[in-house]
Amino acid sequence: MDEFDWMQMREEASNYVRNKNTKILNNWCAEAHVTSPIGYYNDYETLTVFTDSPGKLIGKAGTLIEKYKAEFNEEFHGDYKIKFVEIRGGFANIA
């Protein structure tokens, strides 16, 4: 495998993971009725979610966080930890 093939494979894998993360997080936000934007960082051991409403994403008695933690574990074959960073104030998307 030459360097170009390896780089292309790496990009495809990165896109696959990003799309799966986005799909799971969108479903989670829809179920939790969270409409404000959220951000995340996935280091393949810990999913860090940046949001202004962590309580909604955790759910009553932790039901939503456990459901989606199990979904991440199944999708990526790992033992994920999920942590929240509460964002106070507004969000800005600066390009």
Q: Could you read off the pLDDT of 11-55 as tens digits, one per residue? A: 999 999 999 999 999 999 999 999 877 899 988 889 999 998 999
Q: What is the mean pLDDT of residues 67-93?
A: 87
Give residue 36's pLDDT: 79
Residue extents of the structural domains in the chain: 3-86
CATH dotted code for 3-86: 3.30.70
> What's the confidence (pLDDT) of residue 35?
87
Cβ–Cβ < 8 Å for 87, 50? yes
Distance (Å, whole) CA 77 – CA 1: 26
